[in-house]
Amino acid sequence: MNINIWTFLTQCAAMGVWVFLVAGLYAIVEKVLDKHYPEFLAVEEAGASQAPGTTPVAQPDPAKQA
Amino acid sequence: MEAITGEIAFMATAAGKAFLILMDPTRLMYLAAGCLMGLVLGIVPGIGGLAGTAMLLPFTFNMDPYSAFALLLGLGSTTTTGDPIPAVLFGVPGGAASAATVLDGFPMAKKGEAGRALSASYMSSLMGGVFGACLLAVSIPILRPVMLFLGSPELLAFAVLGISMVALLSGNAPLRGLAAGCLGIMIAMIGTDPQSGTLRWTFNSLYLWDGLPLTPLLLGIFALPELCDLLITRTAIAAGFEKADIYKGQWQGVKDCFTHWWLIVRCSWIGGGIGSIPGISASVVDWLAYGHALKTEPGAAQTFGKGDVRGVIASESSNNAKEGGALVPTIAFGVPGSATMAILLGAFLIHGLVPGPDMLHKNLDITYSMVWSVALANILGAGMCYAFSPQFARLATLRFSLILPAVMGIIYIGAFEATRQWGDLYALLFFGLVGWCMKQFKWPRPPLILGAVLGDTIERYMFISVERYRLSWLDRPVVAILLFLAIVGMMRPMIQDIRLHGQVPQAAPAAGGRREGATVWLVAIIRAALIATIPLVITDYVVRLFNYAGGAFASTLVMKIVFGVIIVTPVMIWWLRLRDLSRDNATVVVVAVAVALAELVTNVSALVTPPPQFATLMLVGIAIGFMKGAIIGLVLLVWLLFNNATRGNLVEQTNTFIADSIREWNVFTVGFKRMVPRFHPSQLFTIFMLTILSSMVIMALSWDFSAKIVPLVVGGTGITVCLLSLLNDMCRKPTVHVESLAESAQSQVEQKIHMDLASDTEHLPIETIVKRAARFFGYLVAFMGVMSVIGLVPTVGLFVVIFMRYENRERWKLVITYAIVLVFAISFVFDNVMSIPWPPTLIAQWFPALKFLPSI
């Protein structure tokens, strides 16, 4: 483990700025798309993907056998 | 006696040493970390212990074996401790292993006894897990002397048997499993051939020269398909439980476990025993234990399923015990007991350990450290569950949009750790697609991994066997028996299918009337002879052993008669009583005389049973045994015919036997004629696999003899099996003919056992599945593309934002917090703490100043 605290903090700051930048850009894109093409970004309902009559969660995940 | 004392002292020393090594604080920390991850993965929907172990494996590369196995076993042992939490609180099993816990755990929670149910399940998990570890510890001294008699041919046969067992038991279509296993072995042989230096299937790529690394393969086959299905089903559990409920009644739950300790011992024994049979997976163990409890516990039929704590205890103790059981064949024979164990076997090879005799002699302390790891992990895991139940319960309600981005980042990092080349990521993507298709089309995946892990071993042992023994290695008795079992296993599904086609009422002609005469007498003699053969052969070998060891107390003939009477008579009497042929005490004397007579008549030098050195000689021995059996049968027949009461019964029984055989034969021939090919789109994947296997075999044809022999044998088998499977699929009738309720229940149980790898997306329209899967793999490709430009850590930030907003419109506050936390966590853990190297990026070439950022 070799941590230089100042490098680490700069890295954190840079990555934080990056996340905000991406989030801001996406927010703008989202707004524009929602206004002109409302269906384009519509979220698929979790419930809609379930078969009628089943529990909210499908069968136990089989590959989860440990 | 002295040898035994020395052996015990030696093993106690190894066990003590292993314990001290494991008590090192760093290793304990790894163990605790593994436990925590195991619990979390067991609880979080969508990712299980299997994918978790695959994800952790690449990060153990730099550890010593003790720490690595502490981490991996910590994870593997505790996934089943955590998964009753969602099972009890929400009625949704966290993993397949706790499906039976729901039956009683959820009703208990509804009655307000959630705390008691959870506490009982933790405690029984703990006890079961420790029992499993003890089972492992006890097996080691028992197996040690056995290991000395196993040579390369036997180990090869074990590996082949292991793959065929897993293939047969883990999938609904065993032939597909075998084909997958063959493909796995072929994948293991990619790269430079160790004997001749031939480059096998490297496609002129330097990346493949050293062979395909295991990690991207594992992650692709097991982890990516789970993530993809998570996106497809968009699972979500609504939160809704009282914190007070979880703590209420905890003490009662602990007390329940001690009251029902005998149930725990029995169910742990079931778990450990079943776990050690390769191929039977976790999803069956809990049902078997639950069924056992239902049958044996007093009053269970009335209370089980309505919230009986014994139901919870039974299934939870068994599924934790299975881990220790599954380790036994993995360590001793290199045949993994389960898919998780196949990954662990990969870890063995990565750490330079060879499973088999070495693990029980040279590396005994590592083996014992595994025993301690499993035991400690179960104790730690249960402790953590007691302490943090409400927090863990909240994990079960996590949405897919929160789970997926973090896991995806870790999978990429893990895959890249294999050789640190871009090829790792391409391999990950390719096998992710293959794995998902396998899951969708119900091709069992564990055999593929097993083949890939055991491929090198199989090739090495086969090479050594052929070099050392030429072809006579096939004639070694143990090898012949194991290979015979493997072949029977391969043929069984085909035969079953033919029978299924023939099983229509009119297919069976009415059995003929009651007959008497030469045919009936002959059949009766053959039946008796068949029963007597094996005990007679055993008698001969016992006598041989006595002569060989110098313990002969009389002439060989006298010994044969004495041992024959001792060994054969009880078996024959038991059979006669079972079939209700004779209950007369005088029969005992008749059988004994018959045995003596048989030994006397065959006492000529031509009919001496040969020593069991070779399988063919054993066959001769069995034939001689059958001859003697026929003499016994003849004497018995005369005796039974002599008496009127037994005569009628004998004729009756033999007639039924003949009629049954004829009916069976008719079913078989009718079924064979009825198989008409029919095409279905899902067979396209079988054709795809067939194409891959065929093209690999065609490429192999031009290599050196030593480089191509194993690929051709394995590939040929794979193609044959794949063709059979295709034929099977095409001929399978669309609807299965179910006659009675009992049969339909039986088929349910078989489905439960066999379908454990199926996708849970069946309720969705195909269009939705394909669309969402395409989107998932689109994300993967885009992730890789962006990663090559701006580096992994910034890509994670970008991905989190887009994925969470686009897929589920999460609140901005959550999105940004999550993105920042994840980016910081990944860069801290992997860049600062573990200092792993990152793939080179384009942006760093353009702006070298940016290199101070992690992963750029």
pLDDT digit of tens for each residue in chain A (66 aa)? 566 788 888 888 988 999 999 999 999 999 999 888 888 777 776 544 333 333 434 344 444 443
Task: Tell me whether residues B99 and A22 touch, CB distance under 8 A.
Answer: no
Mean pLDDT of B413-422: 87
Task: Tell me whether residues A65 and B802 touch, CB distance under 8 A.
Answer: no
Residues near A5 by beta carbon (within 8 Å), at least 6 away in sequence: none
Q: Given A11, A19, A58, which is nearest B763 (Cβ)? A: A58
Task: Tell me whether residues A57 and B99 touch, CB distance under 8 A.
Answer: no
- Among B37, B53, B235, most A C-beta atoms within 10 A, so best to mutate, is B235
Residue B155 C-alpha from the chain's centroid: 18
Q: For residue A19, list chain B residues with Cβ-Cβ distance below 8 A.
A: 797, 801, 816, 819-820, 823
Q: Given A16, A41, A61, which is nearest B48 (Cβ)? A: A61
Task: Tell me whether residues B852 and A41 touch, CB distance under 8 A.
Answer: no
Least confident of B108-122, B497-511, B840-854: B497-511
Is the per-residue pLDDT at B506 higher than 80? no
Q: Which chain A residue is nearest to residue B341, measuring alpha carbons? A: A66
Using left for φ > 0, alpha for ψ between -120 and 50, and beta otherwise, residue B816 falls in: alpha
Residue B764 — pLDDT band, cuts 50, 70, 90?
Answer: confident
Q: How far does A56 lie from chain B, in Å, by closest CA?
A: 7
Task: Tell me whether residues A66 and B91 touch, CB distance under 8 A.
Answer: no
Q: Given A8, A19, A56, which is nearest B236 (Cβ)? A: A56
Q: For residue A27, list chain B residues with Cβ-Cβ distance below 8 A.
A: 812
Q: How far does A59 lie from chain B, in Å, by closest CA?
A: 6
Least confident of B39-53, B152-166, B328-342: B152-166
Q: How many helices (H) and strands (E) does chain B have?
A: 36, 2
CA–CA dist B548, B553 (Å, integer):
12
Residue A52, exposed/middle/buried by CB under 10 A (0-12, 13-18, 19+)? Answer: exposed
Q: For residue B826, list chain A residues with Cβ-Cβ distance below 8 A.
A: none
- Comparison of pLDDT for B197 and B372, the residue scoring more: B372
How many other CB atoms are found less than 10 A from the CB of residue B222?
Answer: 30
Residue with tokens 């990619």: B190
* Chain A contacts to B (CB-CB under 8 A): 1-3, 7-8, 10-12, 14-16, 18-20, 22-23, 26-27, 30, 41, 43-44, 46, 49-51, 54-66
Task: Tell me whether residues B80 and A10 touch, CB distance under 8 A.
Answer: no
Q: Which chain B residue is nearest to residue A54, measuring alpha carbons? A: B763
CA–CA dist B256, B300 (Å, integer):
15
Task: Tell me whether residues B50 and A41 touch, CB distance under 8 A.
Answer: no
What's phi and psi for B199, nearest 5 deg? -85, 120
What ipTM was estimated for this complex?
0.76
Q: How far does A60 lie from chain B, in Å, by closest CA?
A: 6
pLDDT of residue B734: 45
Task: Tell me whether residues B760 and A64 touch, CB distance under 8 A.
Answer: no
Residues 804..823 of B with a Cβ closer than 8 Å to A: which? 805-809, 812, 815-816, 819-820, 823
Give the CA angle between residues B357, B360, B366 to the nearest 5°.
125
Residue B310 — pLDDT band, cuts 50, 70, 90?
Answer: very high
Residue with tokens 């014994």: B310
Task: Tell me whether residues A12 and B824 touch, CB distance under 8 A.
Answer: yes
Residues 450..469 of B with a Cβ closer than 8 Å to A: which? none
Is the per-residue pLDDT at B695 higher than 90? yes
pLDDT of residue B35: 94
**How much of chain B exceeds pLDDT 70, in percent?**
91
CA–CA dist B290, B27 (Å, integer):
36
Q: What is the pLDDT of residues B420-452, one digit of tens each?
A: 888 999 999 999 999 999 888 888 888 888 888
Is the per-residue pLDDT at B821 higher than 90? yes
Q: For residue A55, list chain B residues with Cβ-Cβ distance below 8 A.
A: 91-92
Is the per-residue pLDDT at B398 higher than 90? no
Cβ proximity of B854 and B794 under 8 Å: no
Is the per-residue pLDDT at B296 higher than 50? yes
Mean pLDDT of B535-555: 85
Q: Given B99, B445, B801, which is nearest A19 (Cβ)? A: B801
Q: CB of B295 within 8 Å of any CB in chain A?
A: no
Q: For residue B235, list chain A residues with Cβ-Cβ distance below 8 A.
A: 46, 57-58
Residue B727 — pLDDT band, cuts 50, 70, 90?
Answer: confident
Is B200 strand, coil or helix?
Answer: strand
CA–CA dist B597, B557 (Å, integer):
11
Q: How far does B93 lie from chain A, in Å, by closest CA?
A: 6
Q: Report how far apart, in Å, the C-alpha atoms of A19 and of each of B403, B410, B413, B795 are.
A: 19, 19, 20, 10
Q: What is the pLDDT of residues B702-716, one digit of tens each?
A: 998 888 888 888 899
Using left for φ > 0, alpha for ψ between -120 and 50, and beta otherwise, residue A4 falls in: beta
Structure tokens at B459: 């090739």
Is the per-residue pLDDT at B372 higher than 90? yes
Is B191 strand, coil or helix?
Answer: strand
Q: For residue A62, list chain B residues with Cβ-Cβ distance below 8 A.
A: 96, 283, 755-760
Is the per-residue pLDDT at B818 higher than 60? yes
Residues 185..204 of B with a Cβ closer than 8 Å to A: which? none
Q: How far does B275 lie from chain A, in Å, by closest CA?
A: 11
Q: Which chain B residue is nearest to residue A64, measuring alpha carbons? A: B48
- Comparison of pLDDT for B675 and B558, the residue scoring more: B558
Q: CB of B218 within 8 Å of any CB in chain A?
A: no
| Residue pairs between chains A and B whose CB atoms are closer than 8 Å | 161
Task: Tell me whether residues B816 and A49 touch, CB distance under 8 A.
Answer: no
Q: For residue B95, list chain A residues with Cβ-Cβ distance below 8 A.
A: 60-61, 64-66
Q: For residue A10, list chain B residues with Cβ-Cβ distance below 8 A.
A: 852
Q: What is the pLDDT of residues B642-667, one digit of tens each?
A: 877 788 888 888 888 888 888 888 88
Q: Which chain A residue is nearest to residue B791, measuring alpha carbons? A: A15
Structure tokens at B746: 């039986």
Is B199 strand, coil or helix?
Answer: strand
Task: Tell me whether residues B794 and A15 touch, CB distance under 8 A.
Answer: yes
Q: Report how far apart, in Å, the C-alpha atoms of B771 and of each of A33, B71, B224, B506, B785 are.
A: 21, 38, 16, 46, 21
Q: Given B95, B233, B832, which is nearest A65 (Cβ)? A: B95
Q: For residue B401, list chain A residues with Cβ-Cβ distance below 8 A.
A: none
Cβ proximity of B506 and B653 under 8 Å: no
B192 strand-pairing partners? B199
Task: Tell me whether residues B79 and A12 touch, CB distance under 8 A.
Answer: no
Pairing state between β B191-192 and B199-200: antiparallel
CA–CA dist B447, B426 (Å, integer):
22
- Comparison of pLDDT for B521 and B762, the residue scoring more: B521
Cβ proximity of B137 and B360 under 8 Å: no
CA–CA dist B575, B562 (Å, integer):
20
Instruction: For residue B346, give the nearest of B624, B69, B19 by alpha carbon.
Output: B69
Residue B241 — pLDDT band, cuts 50, 70, 90?
Answer: low
Q: How far does A15 lie from chain B, in Å, by closest CA?
A: 7
Q: CB of B793 within 8 Å of any CB in chain A?
A: yes
Residue with tokens 């909210």: A56
How many residues can be counted in chain B? 856
Q: How far does B94 lie from chain A, in Å, by closest CA?
A: 7
Residues 641..700 of B with a Cβ closer than 8 Å to A: which? none
